[in-house]
Amino acid sequence: MSSKTILIITYYWPPSGGSGVQRWLYFSKYLKKLGYLPIVLTVDMKSAAYPSIDKSLLKEAEGIPVHYVKSFNWIKIYTSLKKDNIPQGEFLKKGVLDYFASFIRGNFFIPDARINWAKSARKEALKIIKNNNIDKIITTGPPHSTHLLGLYLKSKLDLKWIADLRDPWTDMFYLKFFYRFPFAKKKDSMLEKKVLSNANAILTTASENFHTELQSKISVKQSFYKIYNGFDTSLFSNIEKKINKDFKIVFTGLLTTNHPYKSIINSLIKFKKRYSKINLKIVFAGSISDQILNEFKKVTNVEFHGYVDHSKAVNLMIQGNILLNFLYNQNKKTSMISGKLIEYMATGNPVLMIGDPESEAAELLSKQSYNLTVSPIENESIIKFIKKNYDIWLNGKIIEGEFDPVLPFEREESTKSLIKIIENL
- Cis, peptide link before residue 408, omega less than 30° from 0: no
- Per-residue pLDDT averaged across 411-422, rounded? 97
State which residues form the domain around 36.
5-230+410-423
pLDDT, one tens digit per residue, over 37-55 is 999 999 999 888 888 899 9
| CA dist., res. 262 & res. 67, Å (int) | 44
Give the pLDDT score at 95: 63
Instruction: Say whether both 58 and 141 belong to one domain.
Output: yes
* Contact yes or no for 66/8 (Cβ under 8 A): no
124, exposed or middle or buried, with CB in 10 Å at 0-12, 13-18, 19+? middle
pTM of the model: 0.92
CATH number at residue 152: 3.40.50.2000
Q: Is the pLDDT of residue 341 over 90?
A: yes
Instruction: Say whether both 159 and 224 belong to one domain.
Output: yes
For the chain, the domain total comes to: 2
Instruction: Say whether both 84 and 153 belong to one domain.
Output: yes
Instruction: Say whether both 83 and 194 belong to one domain.
Output: yes
Instruction: Say whether both 188 and 294 belong to one domain.
Output: no
Instruction: Say whether both 258 and 185 belong to one domain.
Output: no
- Per-residue pLDDT averaged across 183-197, rounded? 97
Instruction: Say whether both 88 and 175 belong to one domain.
Output: yes
Instruction: Say whether both 149 and 293 belong to one domain.
Output: no
CB atoms within 10 A of CB 347: 24
Which residues are paired to 53 by β-bridges?
16
- Per-residue pLDDT averaged across 179-191, rounded? 93
Name the 3-class secondary structure at 122: helix
Q: Which amino acid is at 87?
A: P
Q: Is the pLDDT of residue 3 over 60?
A: yes
Give the pLDDT score at 238: 84
CB atoms within 10 A of CB 367: 12
Instruction: Say whether both 332 and 415 belong to one domain.
Output: no
pLDDT, one tens digit per residue, over 282-332 is 999 999 989 999 999 999 999 999 999 999 999 999 999 999 999 988 655
Instruction: Say whether both 284 and 307 belong to one domain.
Output: yes
What are the start-end ranges of the H helices in 178-323?
Answer: 182-198, 209-215, 233-237, 262-274, 290-297, 310-318
